Amino acid sequence: MRTTPPLVALLAATALVLTACSTGGSSAKQAGGGTLTVLTPSSTLLLDPASSQNLATTSLSFLDRRLTTWDVKQGQDAKVVPDLATTTGTASDDGKTWTYTLKSGLKFSDGSPITSESIKYGIERSFSDQLQGGLSYHKTLLQGGDGYKGPFDGKQLASIATPDSSTIVFHLNKAFGDWPWIASMPAFSPVKESNGNPAAYVKAPITSGPYKVASIKDGTSVTLVRNKYWSKKTDSVRTAQADTVVFQESQNQTTTVQNLVNDTGSYKTAFGAQYLGAADLATVNGNAAAKARLSTSQAGPIQYLAINTQRGSLKQLKVRQALEYAVDKKAYLVASGGSNAGTYASTLITPGIAGRQDYDLYEAPETGDVAKAKSLLASAGVSGLKLVLLTQNDSASLAQAQAVQQGLKRAGITVTLKTEDVDSFYKDVAVSNPTFDLSLSSWQPDFPSANANISPLFDSSQIGNGNFNVSQYKNSSIDEAIAAAQAEVDQTKAQAQWAAIDKRIMADAPIVPLVYAKQSFLHGSGVGNFFIPSFPAYPDYMTLTLTK
């Protein structure tokens, strides 16, 4: 997803990884019917898939199906699987053309058929200026996408062909082996043209998933009821066991946690959509029954120290390598909340991503290797190094920045902290030629591929213009390797390529991997099959059950 401030939760911008702890109640006898309640601090549930960055396994999975979706299980890498389509896609033209055939009998919540034309229209809507904020990978990959402005003026995108009502063909401007993952994103949900006006859609969407919208109370709740036209026979992933799903919006996190700890009334079949902070964890861990209903990831989004590779002494590899050894990762983790907050990181590809290889090019104690850092600085002819570290001005980010500052000080590196509010921070880290030396960042991929770990952060085309190559990292051979891995349709071969790229980039030391963030979620005793998968490190809404 987007870079996120360390340990600051934005509902759709957090993630975790690997298997969860005890989930409580999952082995109990399942019961049909009932109401599942999702407690969220968000004041608005974004219902329009064209403007959503929603994970394939969370909120909109109740309402919308896509061509493909994610199959996530405890302790296993996420897989892309067919959803509306019969396969995850058939590639031709060396990966530049992808063809899908729809399953038979698919219907919208109003009983009308879901067709390839409705999927094409749903994707075309996402190009409109009236619908902004959604994931945009397809916009740069589809031929002609750069100049297309959406269907509301009657124009269509020629690179999406619908030769018949059950076939849809995508023509890309370059080979892209991860297209099956792209086809699982929100914009690939079918939308009826008669329902496509943005203002009308959000008030009464005609849906393709197991539920439809029954009522919307702005800032308070969204209530979903069963879509009688959804068929489990065509949907191998979603359980859709509850009769009703209620999103309770604008929830105070402290109150949410306390209600779930008490586990009474409707809170028995509820869960919190935001991960727990340190104070919340203390509350839960003080109650044995609640602690048994806590799910915690073993690893998650990578938090890292970005090094401005185009600035001053940091242009020298040995200086950047010195930072790898000088950082005190233990102090950073303590400042973040200790072992409950994360596990130490050393790779760019995060746990739970298929093909990831575990390695550490800068092996050192958790507190660092100050002598090694000093030796590298001396070898580079650098002394009295002074750096500016950009960080956010909230207390959590400041504590983490101070931990980095103190760690580097041991190696004779003076770090000055420059603090900014969250909006200013994200604006300043995403420009070309920034005026800082270091910054603290966090990243969760938008889809379970190393491509989404590496390309946004280290491809030179992603420098500035609001993009996320915060390190200003430029390496033409890496750019070529990224392009080759993206074009590889054989995912086994692609994964080997990404693993090699991971190590090559870390040899250049553009960042210091700090931790893979852990996150914890709490649920009521009546919610079953509640777990944190390998990816995303977030509850899988699609497979939740209600238990007796």
The answer to whether 135 and 186 are in contact (CB under 8 A) is yes
Burial class for 502, CB neighbours closer than 10 Å (0-12, 13-18, 19+): buried
- Identity (one letter) of the amino acid at 107? K
Question: What pLDDT shows up at residue 263?
Answer: 97
Taken in order 245, 217, 538, 469, the sign of the CA dihedral is positive
pLDDT of the residue at 279: 86
Chain length of the chain: 548
pLDDT at 548: 65
297: Cβ contacts below 8 Å, ≥ 6 apart: 16, 17, 18, 20, 518, 519, 520, 532, 537
Helices (H), 51-194: 116-125, 137-141, 179-182
Host H or E run for residue 388: strand 386-392
pTM of the complete model: 0.89
The backbone torsions φ and ψ at residue 387, rounded to the nearest 5 degrees and listed phi first, read: -130, 155
Which residues of the chain carry a pLDDT beneath 50?
A: 1-31
**E strand or H helix at 414:** strand 414-420
Cβ 547 vs Cβ 32: under 8 Å: no
Residue 272 three-state SS:
strand
* Token pair in block for residue 544: 């939740």
Contact between 83 and 546 under an 8 Å Cβ cutoff? The reply is no
Q: Residue 175 has which token pair?
A: 């080979």
211-217 and 221-226 beta bridge pairing: antiparallel
Q: Work out whether strand 438-443 and strand 520-522 pair parallel, antiparallel, or are unpaired.
A: unpaired
What is the C-alpha to C-alpha distance for residues 320 and 418, in angstroms, rounded to an integer? Answer: 20
Per DSSP, the chain holds a count of helices (H) and strands (E) of: 15, 21
Which residues, including other chains, have CB under 8 Å from residue 475's CB and lie 6 or more apart?
458, 460, 505, 508
Beta-bridge mates of residue 99? 90, 169
Tokens for 172, please give them. Answer: 């890309």
> What is the DSSP track for 172-235?
BSS--TTHHHHTTSGGGS---GGG--HHHHTTS----SSEEEEEEETTTEEEEEE-TT--GGG-
Nearest to 72 by CA among 547, 542, 545: 542
Q: Are strands 97-101 and 167-171 parallel, antiparallel or unpaired?
A: antiparallel
What are the chain's domains? 42-243 (3.40.190.10), 302-517 (3.10.105.10)
At 97, is the secondary structure helix, strand, or coil? strand
List of residues 6+ apart from 379 with CB closer than 8 A:
318
CA distance linking residue 71 with residue 163, whole number of Å: 29
Q: Which amino acid is at 498?
A: W
Q: What is the pLDDT of residue 73?
A: 87
SS3 category, 386: strand
